[in-house]
Chain A
């Protein structure tokens, strides 16, 4: 029996729940760090340390705080501790023909739920189903004062209090230590089919956006190596009908292709010396930059392998209404797009509101946060 099915079956067993509940130890460690104003570095599976800026501090290990706390398939909600391996959650959902619809990348075997939400990472389905933050329903966290707080819940609609849970998504652990996260889950589509056709970047951008404006069951798109890929998901009849409309060659190893794109194991990523992540309005024309590109999310997400200088890439992204991050390969530049001075001040105040002594993942996202 795999650990996944153990947790699935005994999810409501008090004993199993208690075994992995490290709340008090984590709270004590944060409380102690608060008293000493000592910086902490929140550690999960360590699969996303390459992302963003580096941070120094005493390690706060959440990997032993693990286990699925609650899962009711017909309620479309799962609650798990932050240290729960993402693969364990996906395996339990799979037993009930359900999925995390934001299709998160793992970037390694030890990826945890907490790290995934903290980094706010979403995969190929993002443009069609929503981002990680769109599926966050509630969270339990420790703030910078060492208080255990609970926000949101296990229901889809909830407007009591500010939406702190979604704020945690993408905050890279700089606002609090997530202990538990509740996520909306969705049924796994009964049928999927991936089609490929030869294209150019310009034609692919236009095609992806035309498809998105029509009621088609598209669940992922990608352009790389002169080929446009589109994944269709849904009822068998809907997928078949869309196949007739869209045309193209059926891709046989489709699951593998999307996994390689999602996990950045595709050749394109391996070859990139400096990898830029450029997020723009989807119909933005190809950016005037030398180098190879891979397009995802209906062309709203553009991965660039370019030697162009940071100022040029950022200026082009900004002119298009988007932003650009150095994903990896260039430590001389700030990883994330600079914030306007006014916005930075507000974000510093938000940080201060949760973490008055600045103990959590100091400087992990921006030097000032």
Chain B
């Protein structure tokens, strides 16, 4: 499979593994270095389990000094380093290097300080996303970005992927909610990016590190911004007999000047899967449902709910229902949050895509995904962060059927190329990692990819951090043979131009 092309690190594998192991064991406590195959096995993949590879060695340091020592050693010996948080990523970003050290930050799981007056929390990178909100809740505060994996995923990984969540239309992505980072460079040098003030002098390297997928440095400490818990949140469910009408309703809500806290859409197959799984109370005869949540002060929520009700009805919703109480609100969200595992019950395996499109192209894109689904004979359920155009088609397949995974990947690749063609992107929040590296050749021109490589080299001249991920070599693009789709050169003439 082309996905397993060897990462390009000169002389990788030429280091002496036994000598490296001995040197690491001299630096770290005994239990913090793993080398037996059975101990390495749990690290062979992240949340994208279709891609697996055993690391050379795994280290689990517990102090910054230890990480620094590991980085220096690996740098001196030209050994690749792949950082890993909770391993919940969905693009193979934490896939190990077979001649490299897998650096687990799992032991960095302490909340170091909560500053109530300044509304910040300083945490180690291995702290779970949800744990931050739980720790600060007694002060009436929370950390806003809420990826669906928030129970398990870590804040360091959130920064590396610039994670989103269902509330990012209103509250932004990780990059909008982090004030300061401490990072270690490939050489093991400690740098502080950003500050506890609202800005910092010089280039905005803090923004650059968000979504950099472990390619530029190792995140070792994160200071996040905290927000006051909203006084009230309320959710409205609307059912439509037509996906196009549901899409139009989203535009109308925003045109009315309302920025919902969450605005989610699910199609027929996703609705059925979720309803069968958690009995959320979704209407099974709908072609699409919208979940629209507003939050804020009590009065503001009441005012917005009334207006949203009217808009949804005038857009032709066949049913509009406001959650009567907190229990019903939680149930309506439970269905959405369980959509992935729910769809997972429909087939032995599913493949989650992550493209973003300008919202107005939704009907055309869904229609084309439907055609591709028939072409590839693979069913698709669509879950959509409708407010910000982030589409998650879930392709159902069976990995045990010969050739089906390959067909699924091809189908997925086609969906991503479609997203680029309508002016969108191949990844909204899951990252490029290993998974979408070929589609990067579609989204970016050679000179743009070269600029990314130059930027990477500014931080990591030897190319030792997470090699082979996120940005393809030009050679790889040539071999992939993809046409770079630039704005205005649409290969799908049937789609509306913008």
What are the residues of chain B within 8 A of A346 when measuring CB–CB? 185, 191, 205, 458-459
What CA separation (Å) do A322 and B118 show in the bound complex?
Answer: 13
What are the residues of chain A within 8 A of B470 when measuring CB–CB? 161
Say whether B427 contacts A160, CB under 8 Å.
Answer: yes
B378: min CB distance to chain A, Å: 24
Interface string of B191-214 (1 = CB under 8 A from A): 110011111111111011011100
User: Known contacts being A155-B428, A214-B228, A237-B303, is A163 close to B175, with CB within 8 Å?
Assistant: yes
Q: Is B388 interfacial (CB-CB < 8 Å)?
A: yes
Interface string of B446-460 (1 = CB under 8 A from A): 011001101111110
What CA separation (Å) do A350 and B454 show in the bound complex?
Answer: 8
Say whether A127 contacts B201, CB under 8 Å.
Answer: no
- Which residue in B169, B200, B202 is a CB contact (below 8 Å) of A156? B169
What are the residues of chain B within 8 A of A331 when measuring CB–CB? none
What CA separation (Å) do A8 and B199 show in the bound complex?
Answer: 33
Q: Is A36 interfacial (CB-CB < 8 Å)?
A: no
User: Known contacts being A75-B358, A347-B205, is A164 close to B198, with CB within 8 Å?
Assistant: no
Say whether A240 contacts B229, CB under 8 Å.
Answer: no
Say whether A336 contacts B201, CB under 8 Å.
Answer: yes
Q: Which of A72, A350, A369 has the most CB of B within 10 A?
A: A350
Say whether B452 contacts A155, CB under 8 Å.
Answer: no
- Which residue in B196, B259, B388 is a CB contact (below 8 Å) of A157? B388
Say whether B299 contacts A350, CB under 8 Å.
Answer: no
Say whether A297 contacts B198, CB under 8 Å.
Answer: yes
What CA separation (Å) do A234 and B302 show in the bound complex?
Answer: 13
What are the residues of chain A within 8 A of B189 when measuring CB–CB? 342
What CA separation (Å) do A167 and B118 show in the bound complex?
Answer: 26
Q: Which residue of A lies closest to B163 (CB)?
A: A159
What are the residues of chain B within 8 A of A150 when measuring CB–CB? 445, 448, 486-487
Q: Is B360 interfacial (CB-CB < 8 Å)?
A: yes
Interface string of A16-54 (1 = CB under 8 A from B): 000000000000000000000000000000000000000
Q: Is A181 interfacial (CB-CB < 8 Å)?
A: no
- Which residue in A159, A161, A301, A325 is a CB contact (below 8 Å) of B429? A159
- Which residue in A76, A127, A133 is a CB contact (below 8 Å) of B207? A133
Which stretch from A107-115, A193-201, A220-228, A279-287 is at the chain B interface?
Answer: A279-287
Q: Tell me the A160-179 residues at the B interface (CB within 8 Å).
A: 160-164, 166-167, 169-171, 175
Q: Tell me the B102-152 residues at the A interface (CB within 8 Å).
A: 115-120, 139-141
Q: Is A246 interfacial (CB-CB < 8 Å)?
A: no
Say whether A238 contacts B303, CB under 8 Å.
Answer: yes
Q: Is B377 interfacial (CB-CB < 8 Å)?
A: no
Say whether B424 contacts A155, CB under 8 Å.
Answer: yes
- Which residue in A12, A153, A187, A215 is a CB contact (below 8 Å) of B296? A215
Q: Is B297 interfacial (CB-CB < 8 Å)?
A: yes
- Which residue in A149, A155, A352 is a CB contact (below 8 Å) of B458? A352
Q: Which residue of B lies closest to A242 (CB)?
A: B297
What are the residues of chain A within 8 A of B385 when measuring CB–CB? 157
Q: Is B432 interfacial (CB-CB < 8 Å)?
A: yes
- Which residue in A73, A147, A213, A240 is a CB contact (below 8 Å) of B255? A73
User: Known contacts being A74-B360, A346-B459, is A155 close to B388, with CB within 8 Å?
Assistant: yes
Say whether A159 contacts B118, CB under 8 Å.
Answer: no
Say whether A160 contacts B426, CB under 8 Å.
Answer: yes
Q: Is B318 interfacial (CB-CB < 8 Å)?
A: no
Say whether B448 contacts A240, CB under 8 Å.
Answer: no
Q: Is B423 interfacial (CB-CB < 8 Å)?
A: yes
A173: min CB distance to chain B, Å: 12
- Which residue in A74, A120, A153 is a CB contact (below 8 Å) of B254? A74
What CA separation (Å) do A170 and B199 show in the bound complex?
Answer: 10
User: Known contacts being A74-B359, A134-B172, A215-B230, is A166 close to B425, with CB within 8 Å?
Assistant: no
Q: Is A143 interfacial (CB-CB < 8 Å)?
A: yes
What are the residues of chain A within 8 A of B436 when measuring CB–CB? 160
What CA separation (Å) do A235 and B296 show in the bound complex?
Answer: 10
Say whether A190 contacts B432, CB under 8 Å.
Answer: no
Q: Which of B139, B161, B358 has the most CB of A within 10 A?
A: B358
Say whether B117 contacts A158, CB under 8 Å.
Answer: no
Say whether B211 contacts A238, CB under 8 Å.
Answer: no
A129: min CB distance to chain B, Å: 10
B243: min CB distance to chain A, Å: 17
Interface string of A227-269 (1 = CB under 8 A from B): 0000000111110111000000000000000000000000000
Say whether B358 contacts A159, CB under 8 Å.
Answer: no
Q: Which residue of B lies closest to A317 (CB)?
A: B197
A208: min CB distance to chain B, Å: 11
Would you give 6 A-B contacts (Cβ < 8 Å), ordered by A?
A157-B168, A160-B436, A161-B444, A163-B207, A163-B211, A215-B296
| Further 20 A-B residue pairs, CB within 8 A, beyond A171-B203, A238-B297, A342-B190 | A74-B360, A154-B423, A160-B436, A161-B432, A162-B211, A162-B471, A163-B175, A209-B118, A212-B119, A237-B297, A237-B302, A241-B298, A279-B198, A279-B200, A281-B196, A300-B198, A343-B191, A343-B202, A350-B458, A352-B458
B-contacting residues of A (Cβ < 8 Å)? 12, 70, 72-77, 97, 120, 126-127, 130-131, 133-134, 143, 147-151, 153-164, 166-167, 169-171, 175, 186-188, 190, 209, 212-217, 234-238, 240-242, 279-283, 297, 300-301, 321-323, 325, 336-340, 342-344, 346-347, 349-354, 365-366, 369
**3 interchain residue pairs of minimum CB distance:** A237-B299, A187-B257, A238-B300
A-contacting residues of B (Cβ < 8 Å)? 115-120, 139-141, 161-162, 164, 168-169, 172-173, 175-176, 185, 189-192, 195-205, 207-208, 210-212, 215-216, 228-231, 251-252, 254-255, 257-259, 296-300, 302-304, 356-360, 385, 388-390, 423-432, 436, 440, 443-445, 447-448, 451-452, 454-459, 470-471, 486-487, 498
